[in-house]
Homo-oligomer: A and B are copies of this chain.
Amino acid sequence: MSNAVLEIGKKAAAAKSSIANAGSAEKDRALRLIAEALIRDTDKILAANEKDVNAAKENGMSSALIDRLSLTKDRIKAIADAVLEIISLPDPVGRVVSGSTRPNGIRITKVSVPLGVIAVIYEARPNVTADAAALCLKSGNAVILRGGKEAFNSNMEIVNSMRSALSQTSISPDCIQFIEDTSRESATALMRLNGYVDVLIPRGGSGLIKSVIENSTVPVIETGTGNCHVYVDKSADIDMATEIVFNAKTSRPSVCNAAEKLLIHKDIAQTALPKICEKLKEKNVEIRADESALKLIPDAKPATDEDWDTEYLDYIIAVKAVNDIDEAIKHINTHGTKHSEAIVTESFAAAEKFCAEVDAAAVYVNASTRFTDGGEFGFGAEIGISTQKLHARGPVGLPELTSYKYVVRGEGQIR
C-alpha cells in the first residue's frame, strides 16, 4: 500500500465531519467561493493546462482527446457555472426518509446522511475535478480525487483553487484531497483504503471500470459502459423509428447513452431498414449487419460475433434482424451492459413486455436512449450513470451520494 495514499485517506477521514456537519448555507457559500476562485485563478489554470496539452501533443495524443483535455477561458467559466448550478439543487442531507412510532413507544426516524469519503478515479477531462468535488461537497462528503496523468497540472491547479476557497469557510480544505501520484499503484492503493474510503466511483473507459471491479475492496459504484440497443418492433412507426435510431446513434456518439446496436423485427426490416440506413448515411455511420440484415443493406459490412458486445463510442452501428420481441429481449439481456435500452412500437403489449423483461437502468418506449442523464431526468448534475443494481442505478445525482441512518428516541425502553 502506498503510504502517501494512506495518508491522504486518513486526512480525508479526519476532515469529513467538518463537511458532514456543515449546514446547507455553509456548503452553498463554499460552492460559491469555489466558483469565484476558479474564475479568479483562470490564468493559473490555463497556464497549467498548457503544460498538459503540450505534453500530450509531444506524446502524440489524438486530436479528439486533446480537445477533451484542453481548457479555455470559456470552458473554465462553464466549469465555474456548473459549480454554481449545484448550489440551487436541494441539499440531499438530513431528509427524513421515513419513520414510525413502535408499539413500545420508541420513535424511529430514517434520515439521509453523507456517505463519508468518496474517492473518484477518472481519466483525462479536467472538468471532472471540479464537478466531482462540488457534487461530493454539496452531499456532505469529503472527496479524494485521482485524475489521469495527462491532466495532472490542470487538475492540481483546479484543486489548489478549490482548497483555497474552502479555507475561507468552516469546512476543512482537507475535505478535497488530490492524489498527485498518477501511477497504477496509487489507483490500486486507493481501491483498498477500507476504513477510510466509503465508496469508490470510477469515471472512465471500460478498462478502468474493469480494473476497479477486479481490485477494489472498497464498495464501488460501477458507471458508464453503455452497449445500448434500439429495438424496432414489427408494429413500429417507421418514421419515428428512423428519428429515434438516428438521434440515439449520432447526436453524441462518444457518450455512454448513445445507441450502439439496432435490433429490427424481421417483418418490418424490409421496409424500415433502407429508410433508417439512408438517414444514418447523413452522418456517414458505418453499418455492420448480421447475415439476414445484410441482404437488405447491400453496402453494410458483415458483423462479427465480437460486434454484439462492443461499445463503439463512434459513428458505427451493428444491425441484427430478430424473429420476435422475445429474441430481441434475450439478445439485449445477454449482450447489453444494463444501461439504456429502447423499443419503438405501437403495440401496448410489446411496450409493457419490453419494460418488464429488459434488465437495464433505463428502458424506453418510443424515445431516444440519449435521455439517460441526470439533467434530462430532472435530477440536476450527476457524477455518472450507474450500471450496477446495488445502491444506485441510472443517473447518480446528489441523493445517490448519501446513505441513511436510523435515529431512535425513547424513554428507557429495553428489549
Contact = CB atoms under 8 A, between A and B. Distances in A.
A351 interface: yes
Contact of A116 (B217, B364, B368, B389): B389
Contact of A390 (B113, B357, B390, B405): B390
A376 B406 contact: no
Given A390-B390, A393-B403, A393-B404, A412 B240 contact: yes
Contacts of A106: 367, 371
Contacts of A376: 102, 415
A25 interface: no
Interface string A97-126: 000101000101000010110000000000
Interface string A341-377: 0000000000100011101111111111011100011
A242 to B, nearest CB: 10
Contacts of A372: 406
A408 B371 contact: yes
Contact of A365 (B21, B194, B409): B409
A95 interface: no
A357 B21 contact: yes
B415 A365 contact: no
Contacts of A411: 240, 366-367
Given A390-B198, A390-B219, A368 B414 contact: yes
B355 A413 contact: no
A116 B246 CA distance: 32
Given A378-B100, A390-B198, A415-B247, A405 B217 contact: no
A390 B113 CA distance: 11
A172 interface: no
Given A17-B357, A244-B412, A390 B389 contact: no
A116 B355 CA distance: 16
Contacts of A213: 194, 217
A226 interface: no
B408 A21 contact: no
Contacts of A251: 414-415
A283 interface: no
Contacts of A115: 389-390
Residue of A361, A364, A372 with most partner-chain B CB within 10 A = A364
Contacts of A390: 115, 198-199, 219, 221, 390-391, 403
Nearest to A243: B414
Contacts of A406: 361-363, 372, 377, 393-394
A116 B388 CA distance: 11
A237 interface: yes
Interface string A255-274: 00000000000000000000
Nearest to A351: B409
A410 interface: yes
B409 A21 contact: no
Given A359-B405, A366-B409, 17 more contacts: A21-B356, A113-B359, A115-B389, A198-B390, A219-B219, A219-B388, A244-B414, A247-B414, A362-B407, A366-B411, A367-B412, A367-B414, A372-B406, A393-B403, A393-B405, A393-B406, A394-B405
Top 4 A-B residue pairs of the complex, sorted by shortest distance between their CB atoms = A367-B410, A247-B414, A389-B403, A391-B391
16 contacts: A21-B357, A116-B389, A219-B388, A243-B414, A244-B412, A251-B415, A361-B405, A362-B406, A362-B408, A367-B410, A367-B412, A368-B413, A371-B415, A393-B403, A393-B404, A394-B405
